[in-house]
Amino acid sequence: MSSYSLLAIIAIGVASNLDNAGVGIAYGVRKIHIPWYSNLTIAFISFLATLVSGLFGNLISTWMPLWIGQLIGTIVIIGVGVWVLVQPYVEKKPTPKTSSSNSLTRLLQNPEEADADSSKSLSLPESIVLGIALAMNALAGGFNAGITQLNVWYTSLSVGLFSFILLALCAGFGEKFAAEKLGHRATVVSGLLLIFIGFRQMF
């Protein structure tokens, strides 16, 4: 594996999980406990989402030239990066109906809603709902890895590992320092990093 491929795999792992950092900080600030098994469930969902989308990207890449695959991967990951940046502003606009996708996005903006029973602890069923919402970026990262012929398994492991680490560390950081504003900035950094990865693949 080349040094660039390794850096790309790590970058996708980090970028796919910066929302986890924001959620972890928000939970820490609100004193909502995330048990290790709930964190592991969220990490596994992100791993699985990355793997499935990565294998799908790999399948597509087998019948098209490499440069086309790189172009598609770049468009997808930059598009997701832009979406991550603009979504908080879109969500501020009132809408007559709330779709399931809007519900997942709202959950990322207000992660405390995942604690539906207000127990101040994230149960296993609640972690599944939150994990699905957090896995949206992982889908794009996995597809990008597969279609640009990065190692899908290593990328999936990277996403799952960073999911577990960032959520745990940032929950502790948020609880200790009450750094709520940093949680909102994590989403911006995530979008910018995804866009950077996309442009870096083309040049």
User: pLDDT digit string (tens) for 150-200?
Assistant: 899 999 999 999 999 999 998 887 777 655 555 556 666 666 766 776 676
**Exposed/middle/buried for residue 82 (C-beta within 10 Å: 0-12, 13-18, 19+):** middle
Q: In this predicted structure, what is the pLDDT of residue 39?
A: 94
Residues 171, 175, 177, 178, CA torsion sign: positive
Which whole number is the average pLDDT over 108-135? 76
Q: If you write DSSP's letter for every residue of 44-83 in order, what string do you get? A: HHHHHHHHHHHHHHHHHHTTS-HHHHHHHHHHHHHHHHHH
User: What angle, 0 to 180 degrees and rounded to 10, lies between the N-to-C axes of helices 136-147 and 36-61?
Assistant: 30
CA distance 13 to 27: 21
Average pLDDT over residues 67-91: 72
Residues in a beta bridge with 71: none
Look at 65 and 181; give whichever has higher pLDDT.
Answer: 65
Residues 30-42: what's their mean pLDDT?
89
- So what's the pLDDT on residue 96? 47
Q: What is the mean pLDDT of residues 98-127?
A: 66
Confidence of residue 113 (pLDDT cuts 50, 70, 90): low
Indicate the pTM of the whole model: 0.75
Residue 64: how many other CB atoms lie within 10 Å:
12
Backbone angles phi, psi at 96, to 5 degrees: -65, -30
The rounded distance, in Å, linking the Cα atoms of 2 and 4 is 5
CA neighbor of 126 nearest in space, from 98, 134, 180: 134
pLDDT at 97 (0 to 100):
45
Spans of all domains in the chain: 3-84+121-202
Of 171, 113, 137, 126, nearest in space to 46 by CA? 137
Residues above pLDDT 70, as percent of the chain: 70
